[in-house]
Chain A
Amino acid sequence: MQTFSVQKKAFRAAFPHTIPILAGFWFLGLTYGIYMNVSGFRFWYPMLMSVTIFAGSMEFVTVSLLLGGFHPLQAFLMTLMINARHLFYGISMLDKYRGLGWKTFYLIFGMCDESFSINYTADIPDDVDRGWFMFFVTLLNHFYWFSGAALGGVFGSLIHFDTEGLDFVMTAMFVVIFLDQWRKEKNHLSALAGIGISLLCLILFGADDFIVPAMIGILGVLTLLRKPLEPAITSSVKGGFEK
C-alpha cells in the first residue's frame, strides 16, 4: 500500500540495526523468564514486567524485591539508583526525540540502553523518516525482550541451555557502538574519561555499586573539561543529525 511506504522504508532500514539485540534479548529474556519461573512466579509475571518495566537488569532485581517484604518506596528508590544512567540518555536525546508527536512518548518510554545506543549512533539515510526509524528500533527491541521473557516464563523448566557465552553479544555490541562513536569524534577526552572513571569506580565500589559514583565522576570531569571540550564537540557533531 502506498500509504505505508514511509513506515515500510523505515522498518527495512531499522531492522538490520536490531539483529544483534534480537540474539541478545532472546537469550537474556529467556534467562529472565526461566529465572522467574524457577523462583515460583506464573508466566504472566515476566510478560507483564517485560512490557511495563523494559529495563533488563532492573527486572532481575525486581524478582528479588518480589521475593522479599512489601517495601514499595524502597523499591522505587532502588530503581532510581540502578536506572539513573537513563538521565544521561535523556539529556543526550533531547533534540532527537522531541517534536515527534505521540512517538516521542513511546521513544522515551522504551529508552533502554540498547535503543538509546542505536538511535543515538545510527546513520539514518536522508530518505528515511527519522521518527519512524527510531520508533521501529525501539518497538523491535521491546518485542524481542517481551517474547524472550514470555517464552522463558511459559516453557522455563523444559528449556536446557548449551548456549554458554551467548550473552557476550551485548558486550560486543557496546564495544562496536563505542568504536563507531570514537571514529566520529575529533576529541576522545569524553570517551577516555568514561572508560577510566568507570573502571576506577568499579575497582573502588565493586560491581553492584559503581554506576552512580561513576556517573557523578563523569559529570564532574566533563564539567571541568567544558572549556577545552565544547568547541571540539560542537564542530564534530554538527551535520551528524538535525536533518
Chain B
Amino acid sequence: MTVPQQLLTIAAVVLGTMATRFLPFLLFPAGKPTPKYIQYLGKALPAAVFGLLVVYCLRNVTPFSGSHGLPELISIVLVVILHLWKRQMLLSIAGGTVCYMALVQTIF
C-alpha cells in the first residue's frame, strides 16, 4: 500500500468507529422525545454490557488446556472478595492484578 492508501484505510477505520459512537445520538436527537423502548434499553443494557465486557476480556482463556484458566479464576475471586470487603476500587484492581502477575510469572 502507498502512504495515501494507508491514510485512506486509517480514515475508513476512524469513520467506522465514529459511526458506531455517534449513530444513537444522531438517530435520537435532543429536541425530540426518545422512544420509550430506547429509553428502556438505555437503562437495561449497561448491566448486560458490563457482563459482555468481562467475558470479552476473558475470551482467550483456554479452560481445557494450558493453565485451564486457573490464574484468571483465582484472581477474579480475589477481586470480588476484596471489593465486597473493602469497596476500594483501586485496591481491588491492584490486588487482583498483582495476584495474576505473580501466578502467571511463577506457578503457571
Chain A positions within 8 Å of B, measured between CB atoms, are: 16-17, 19-20, 23, 45, 48-49, 52-55, 58, 62, 65-66, 69-73, 75-80, 83-95, 97-99, 104, 108-109, 111, 113, 117, 120-121, 163-166, 168-182, 185, 188, 190-199, 202, 207, 210-211, 214-215, 218-219, 222-223, 225-226, 229-230, 233-234, 237
Contact of A165 (CB < 8 Å), options: B9, B94, B100: B100
The majority secondary structure among interface residues of chain B is: helix
A165 contacts which chain B residues (CB < 8 A)? 71, 97, 100-101, 103-105
B8 contacts which chain A residues (CB < 8 A)? 70, 72
How far apart are B37's CB and chain A's nearest CB, in angstroms?
8
CB-contacts of B49-66 with A (<8 A) = 49-60
**In the complex, are the beta carbons of B16 and A79 less than 8 A apart?**
yes
How far apart are A221's CB and chain B's nearest CB, in angstroms?
8
User: How many residue pairs, one in A and one in B, have C-beta atoms under 8 Å apart?
Assistant: 253
Beyond the given A90-B24, A176-B79, please list 8 additional residue pairs across the A-B interface where CB-CB is below 8 A: A83-B16, A85-B52, A169-B97, A174-B53, A181-B46, A190-B45, A195-B55, A202-B55
A79 to B17, CA, bound (A): 6
Given the known inter-chain contacts A66-B6, A85-B49, A194-B49, please indicate yes or no for A172 contacting B16, CB distance below 8 A: no
